[in-house]
Amino acid sequence: MEAIDKLGKHPEPKRAGEEPVVRFENAVKKIGRKTIIEGLTLNVPAGQVFGFLGPNGSGKTTTIRMMTGLMAPTAGDIKICGRSITREFEAAISQVGAIVENPEMYAYLSGYRNLLQYARMRSDVTKQRVDEVVRFMGLQNRIHDKVSTYSLGMRQRLGVAQAILHKPKLLILDEPTNGLDPQGIRELRDYLRTLAQNDGTTVFVSSHLLSEMELMCDSVAIIQAGKLIDVRDLHAETDTETAIETEFDVARIEEAIGLLGGGEIRGGRLVIRTNREGIAETNMRLVQAGIPVYGIRPLTRSLEDQFLEMTGGGQIV
Amino acid sequence: MFDFFRLVHNENIKIYSRVRTWVMFGIVLLTSLLMPTLFYYIGSGLSMWSAMNALQQFWFLPTVFAIAIAGDSVAGEFSRGTIKLLLIRPWSRIKILLSKYVAVVLFLLAVYAVFILPALPLSALIFGTSSASDMSDSLLGGLASSMADEFWLSLLLRMISGLMYATIAFLFSAVFRSNSLALSLTMVMMFVGGLITLIISPAKYVIGRYVLFANLNLTQYVYAPSGEYGVMSLGFSLSVLAVYYVVFLVIAFWVFRKRDVAA
């Protein structure tokens, strides 16, 4: 009976039935007469790397400011681990580590002394923990240098370091790949994965870079102009049943169509709509008939295409 | 409570690990050491305490530096963007702001200490500690019975004025979140104050007695218990300042607690 009640309350599937780490409850933000966020309702499941995707100016940073208590929602509420960020700020924020926009630090202090600033603000962060985080982020060689001498990539790492000092349940990163070189982006991706997998940290990352999100995240929520458009699981089991369009690069296309009894020619290639098994079977038949096959490619749409389609592509800002 | 002092410690680090803070201390220290020396060469018949009283004419130096630190306290975090990382800790905004204010008051005490303490033994050394000329005519009928009294009393009163100016700068810093605006507004108040008291003279208008600026110059009571205008008293001015002080702090804390952070 209890299990059924639970299911009734949370209709959407969740990992191990855990309480979501973040719950947006119809959060609204108006600044002046302008509505920045329109009634955002969203659950962020525990233990995931959760992407928050939207074009520039769609309200990503405003949402993060509300999640971290920097801005108060005009209406609605945001709960972190069940605690309201507006009414129980200290309890809610103690579970959060974050970088909001750029990782701004005290440039006249060393990286280490910056970290100590934040360590002193909590009773549960020891010096050993600070050293551990410095090593985890690979900062040990430069940690005693002044932050003013750091590159953007190192500041970003120091930013992540201050955010994970207290082993937060929720790590919020606002556009973390901004200004990073490809290697930096790859490293960021790696340690976010490590945090999510080893420490069970839920990571909430905002970005406008879709390809980046695809590589990094388990799920993404897509917002546009302050409205939630879609939430999707990026690691859904590969669907073997549904027919998808598949492109075959073959010699003698006309003959192949005759043999298969179907298909169309697109850009000099043969396109057939079939499922996973059908692709293998088609290939076999072509080869057996002596028609050379040079390549097979599923014509799936990337998240980027879907994203552009959903957000209407060329929007007027 | 121990944890709260760690916040104050953080704020102290932010103040004292900057070069400019030590430039300020350096200037104040030089003034403290050079002035008694200069008085020795140009003055005649000066005693230790009259030299110290002359040094106090430079009171604006530690005060202005305290204003600079107070004005930067909150606004600096906004202009650097570090306010965001500061406010996402399990501390209420009230406690964060209070720790900043405590650090500003500590700095005021420190800079006044650097202003006064080196000059005291130096003056004693140069001018001697004899009390033969320790009384002056200007003190007759005032609150001080000797030049030493005059010195300590004016120092205390100047530090109270300094605290008021630093608190005003802190208020502007928290409300406008702009370093330059906080600084320049407080400086304007320092200079325009006298002008406003001239226009709304406390001697002519009762309301003039309640204007902040008429009460900021507390040393007027050292020489005349009823003040420059003969219509007020030290107790009166201190009470008026206390009311302004509370109002300034309430506004600063209220605004800082309420407003969205969009830096």
pLDDT by residue (tens digit) across B212-227? 999 999 999 988 888 8
A267 burial via Cβ count (<10 Å: 0-12, 13-18, 19+): exposed
pLDDT at A273: 84
Select the residue of B6, B14, B260 nearest A106 (Cβ to Cβ). B14
Which residues on A lie below 8 Å from B10 (Cβ)? Answer: 117, 120-121
Q: Please answer whether residues B173 and B75 qualify as being in contact, where contact means their C-beta atoms are separated by less than 8 angstroms.
A: yes
Select the residue of B14, B92, B260 nearest A90 (Cβ to Cβ). B92
The sheet with strand A264-266 has its strands ordered as A264-266, A269-274, A244-250, A293-298
Q: Is A191 on the interface with B (CB under 8 A)?
A: no
For A132-147, how does the pLDDT look when each residue is reduced to its tens digit (9 = 90+)? 999 999 999 999 999 9
The alpha carbon of residue A278 is apart from the nearest alpha carbon of chain B, in Å, by 54
The CATH number given to A244-303 is 3.30.70
Measured CA to CA, the distance from residue B238 to residue B26 in angstroms comes to 32
Q: Please answer whether residues A203 and A171 qualify as being in contact, where contact means their C-beta atoms are separated by less than 8 angstroms.
A: yes
Measured CA to CA, the distance from residue B226 to residue B235 in angstroms comes to 10
Q: Is A106 on the interface with B (CB under 8 A)?
A: yes
For A263-274, how does the pLDDT look when each residue is reduced to its tens digit (9 = 90+)? 888 888 888 888
Alpha-carbon dihedral B139, B145, B146, B150, rounded to 10 degrees = -70
Identify residue A78 by its one-letter amino acid code.
I
Q: Please answer whether residues A299 and A247 qualify as being in contact, where contact means their C-beta atoms are separated by less than 8 angstroms.
A: yes
Q: Please answer whether residues A46 and A53 qualify as being in contact, where contact means their C-beta atoms are separated by less than 8 angstroms.
A: no
A84-98 in b/e form (b: 16+ CB < 10 A) is ebeeebeebbbbbbb
Q: Which CATH superfamily is domain A12-233 in?
A: P-loop containing nucleotide triphosphate hydrolases (3.40.50.300)
Tokens 């990026």 label which residue?
Answer: A234
HSE toward the beta carbon, residue B247, CA cutoff 13 A: 7
CA A38 to chain centre: 21
Which residues on B lie below 8 Å from A69 (Cβ)? Answer: 87-88
Q: Please answer whether residues B148 and B127 qualify as being in contact, where contact means their C-beta atoms are separated by less than 8 angstroms.
A: no
3-state secondary structure of B132: coil
Q: Is A190 on the interface with B (CB under 8 A)?
A: no
ipTM, 2 dp = 0.89
Which residues on B lie below 8 Å from A91 (Cβ)? Answer: 90
pLDDT at A299: 76
More confident residue, A216 or A73: A73
Q: How confident is the model at residue A259 (pLDDT cuts 50, 70, 90)?
A: confident
Decide if pLDDT at A77 tops 90. Answer: yes
Q: How confident is the model at residue A246 (pLDDT cuts 50, 70, 90)?
A: confident
pLDDT at A111: 96
Residues above pLDDT 90, as percent of chain A: 48
B26-62 in b/e form (b: 16+ CB < 10 A) is ebbbebbeebbeebbeeeeebbbbbbbbbbbeebebb
Question: For the CA atoms of chain A, what is the radius of gyration?
Answer: 24
Interface of chain B against chain A, CB under 8 Å?
A: 3, 6-7, 9-10, 13-14, 17-19, 80-82, 84-85, 87-92, 260-262
Mean pLDDT of A113-126: 95
Q: Do A109 and B13 touch (CB under 8 A)?
A: yes
Q: How confident is the model at residue A24 (pLDDT cuts 50, 70, 90)?
A: very high
Chains A, B: CB contacts within 8 A come to: 74
Tokens 């396109």 label which residue?
Answer: A271
A49: region left, alpha or beta (phi > 0 left; psi from -120 to 50 alpha): beta
Measured CA to CA, the distance from residue B241 to residue B256 in angstroms comes to 22
Decide if pLDDT at A317 tops 80. Answer: no
Q: Do B10 and A121 touch (CB under 8 A)?
A: yes
pLDDT at B255: 96
Could you give the angle at the alpha carbon of B189 between the alpha carbons of B185 and B193, nearest 5°?
165
Q: Is A162 on the interface with B (CB under 8 A)?
A: yes
How high does pLDDT run on average in chain A? 86
Q: How confident is the model at residue A241 (pLDDT cuts 50, 70, 90)?
A: low
Q: Which residues pair with A244 in a beta bridge?
A: A274
Hey, where are the domains in chain A?
12-233, 244-303
Decide if pLDDT at A92 tops 50. Answer: yes
Which residues on A lie below 8 Å from B84 (Cβ)? Answer: 68, 70, 100-101, 104
Which residues on A lie below 8 Å from B260 (Cβ)? Answer: 31, 65, 70-72
Q: Are strands A244-250 and A293-298 parallel, antiparallel or unpaired?
A: antiparallel
- Largest Cα–Cα distance in chain A? 76
Token pair belonging to A49 = 């790397």
Which residues on A lie below 8 Å from B3 (Cβ)? Answer: 123
Please report, in angstroms and rounded to a whole number, the separation of the first and last CA atoms in chain A. Answer: 51
Select the residue of A31, A102, A122 nearest B90 (Cβ to Cβ). A122
Could you give the angle at the alpha carbon of B99 between the alpha carbons of B94 and B104, nearest 5°?
125
The sheet with strand A83-84 has its strands ordered as A34-44, A22-31, A75-80, A83-84
Q: Among residues 119-158 of chain A, which lie with CB inside 8 Å of chain B? A: 120-123
pLDDT at B225: 87
Q: Do A101 and B91 touch (CB under 8 A)?
A: no
HSE toward the beta carbon, residue B124, CA cutoff 13 A: 7
Measured CA to CA, the distance from residue B200 to residue B218 in angstroms comes to 18
Measured CA to CA, the distance from residue A136 to residue A142 in angstroms comes to 13
Low-confidence ranges of chain B (pLDDT < 50): none
pLDDT at A238: 59
Token pair belonging to B248 = 């300034």
Select the residue of A105, A122, A123 nearest B82 (Cβ to Cβ). A105
The alpha carbon of residue B19 is apart from the nearest alpha carbon of chain A, in Å, by 9
Where does A44-124 have alpha helices with state H?
Answer: 60-67, 89-93, 111-120
Measured CA to CA, the distance from residue A104 to residue B87 in angstroms comes to 13
Tell which residue, B154, B166, B236, has the closest CA to residue B202: B236
Question: For the CA atoms of chain B, what is the radius of gyration?
Answer: 20
Q: Do A70 and B260 touch (CB under 8 A)?
A: yes
3-state secondary structure of A80: strand
Q: Is A108 on the interface with B (CB under 8 A)?
A: yes
Any residues with CB less than 8 A from the CB of A308 and at least 6 apart, and which?
none
